[in-house]
Structure 1
């Protein structure tokens, strides 16, 4: 049976708003939480980017829902040893209901310290080693590691959960999805792509969970929903490697000017019709997703939770 969760957007909302949304999500019957981890929003219209680890600490005090980062990049902006400590603390705060979702990142967030943005295959190699470092530290032993990309000397994490933190790996193409199957305890994606799910299962992830995130925009009218989604999330429709390569929010805004409203309306379920939202979610279920996380775009948060709890969640279940 598919589990339905809520996707907390750190790009669009501040920390207090995210905590309120988590409470509303649990009350509405959502079963899990995803939360994004960015230094920048994708564009200035989104307007936020709180530090995710502080927000997770606050969430642990107001909700009992399991939480997954979607996703953390443990390779450049923050050293994997520090991510290992942050994830261990989050798992303790959440009584073990925490999963570290990781990925190879985007230049948007990882360029900020002036480091070179490496090509995709190098980023995946860095991710593989970063996950290795995190797993070593989560044993609680003293770790010394001299690898191709990272050095750790005489490091030990003292505050640890009873069980090692599960690590799920994101993938948006065959190479990264294959890596997720090889090194991940689960797989994260944002596409209802049955072929990628199959690649993950065939690469070592046969019995492991698949998580996916999707966006909707519940609004009084379909036009109002499309207007909001087109203003806040046109970057969702940018093709190819742009999402990984563009370095600044204003670059995304410029590139997104080429995305038309019709394309947004086709990609994101907008408006008050429950059947439109159900159809969008069903694509993910049909692709073999185990956990689906839904993000409401824009300010109509309470209306979204009310509508989904009454008209959408019961149908999906």
Structure 2
């Protein structure tokens, strides 16, 4: 049965309100939650970016939901820090935490480092990060040189139940490459054929763990309101994976959206926009039928209450049998 979860968007909502939102989502029937770990939002219009690791401690302590987060070892986080942070969460909340490791975006690394390596270098670093984090979670002392440097690193409180390490992937090439290393993968909504290729590539690469999908959607009582929300908040997030990784600031994303004259057609490729709850149910059924184990719903508006109530009452019950 597919688990339907709530995506907590730190880039759009201040952390104290987001904590209330995720508690509300649990009460409404969402059975899991996730977030992304950003230093910067995607655009000035989104305007927030709370520290996910601090927030996760509070969210796990005040709900019964399992939580995951997308996280990039790199300049902001050495893999040793990633291992220590995730081990601490896993010790306090055993069996309830997973993390998806990714190669990151310049947006989040530029404030702390002048260097932004090319994609292949970041991928090799990510492969090494999986190895370092797993060994530290297992209680080993780790020394290594390249591409990750560690000198007799140790996590002194390793987890009794190691948290799952997924890979965050946007292309079949990445998901196939990391299938032997990861306990699962997470991606974002794309055309059904593209998602099918992602799942096929995962299995062809030997992947056997969970397949998770984050679905960007915009819902409101009227079609015009739903379109306006998507345009105002998410028109900066419609570009190809290379562009999304290489732009260096929220203002760069905003300028790019203006230059490209992003409109409803482009937004509809990245966001499921509809005032019709039945249409949202149909789309989510399609994703579940492809074989995704977990689907996390991200309403791209900054006000979550009406979305949570509407989907809790009308959408989640229709997906309960998936």
* TM-score normalised over the length of structure 2: 0.93
Q: Do the aligned partners of 1:218 and 1:300 also contact (CA within 8 Å) in 2?
A: no
- Over residues 184-216 of structure 1, what are the superposed CA-to-partner deviations in whole Å (9 max), with x where a residue is unaligned? 0011100341101110111021x3110110112
Partner of 2:198: 196
Counterpart CA distance in 1 for 2:306 and 2:293 is 26
Q: Give the Å deviation of 1:180.
A: 2.6
> What value does the CA root-mean-square deviation take over the aligned residues?
1.5
CA distance in 1, matches of 2:14, 2:84: 24
Q: Using a 3 Å threshold, how does the CA distance of structure 1 residues 94 and 267 change in structure 2: closer, same or farther?
A: same
Tell me if the contact between 1:57 and 1:90 (Cα under 8 Å) persists in the aligned partners: yes
Q: Secondary structure at the match of 1:13?
A: coil
263, 267, 285: which one aligns with 2:266:
263
Distance in 2 between the 1:142 and 1:268 partners? 44
Using the TM superposition, name which of 40-49 and 215-224 deviates more: 215-224
SS at match of 1:224: helix
1:233 correspondence with 2:234: yes
Q: Does 1:74 align with 2:73?
A: yes
Q: Please list the CA deviations of residues 31-75 of structure 1 after superposition, one character each: whole Å capped at 9, or x if unmatched.
A: 111111111100000011111110011112111111111x10012
Whole-angstrom distance in 1 between the partners of 2:304 and 2:112: 35
**What is residue 85 of structure 2 aligned with on the other side?**
86
Partner of 1:222: 223
In the other structure, the counterpart of 1:284 is 287
Aligned to 1:184, what secondary structure does the other structure show? coil
CA contact (8 A) 1:226 1:265 kept: no
Q: Tell which deviates more after alignment, 150-159 or 127-136.
A: 150-159
Q: 173, 176, 182: which one pairs with 1:184?
A: 182
**Residue of structure 1 equivalent to 2:300:** 297
Q: Is 2:139 the partner of 1:140?
A: yes
**What are structure 2's unaligned runs of at least 5 residues?**
none
2:317 maps to 314
Per-residue CA deviations over 1:252-309 (Å, capped at 9, x if unaligned) read 0011122103432464233532112113323322332110000122244221111111
1:209 corresponding residue in structure 2: 210
> 2:215·2:297 contact (CA, 8 Å) conserved in 1?
yes
Residue 124 (structure 1) shift: 0.7
Cα deviation 1:120-146 (Å, max 9, x = unaligned): 111110100011111111111322222
Partner SS state of residue 112, structure 1: coil
- Of 134, 150, 161, the residue aligned with 1:163 is 161
Distance 2:121 2:110 in 1: 15
Between the aligned partners of 1:273 and 1:158, the Cα distance in structure 2 is 51
1:27-38 to 2 correspondences below 5 Å: 27-38=27-38
Cα distance in 2 for residues equivalent to 1:152 and 1:267: 39
SS in structure 2 of the partner of residue 241 of structure 1: helix
Q: Which moved more, 1:166-175 or 1:39-48?
A: 166-175
* Partner residue in 2 for 1:53: 53
Q: CA deviation at 1:240?
A: 4.6
Secondary structure of 1:298's aligned partner? coil
Distance in 2 separating the partners of 1:115 and 1:174: 30
Determine the structure 1 residue equivalent to 2:151.
153
Q: Secondary structure at the match of 1:295?
A: strand
2:8 maps to: 8
The aligned length equals 314
> Is contact 1:238-1:259 (8 Å) kept?
no
| Segments ≥4 residues shifted beyond 4 Å | none
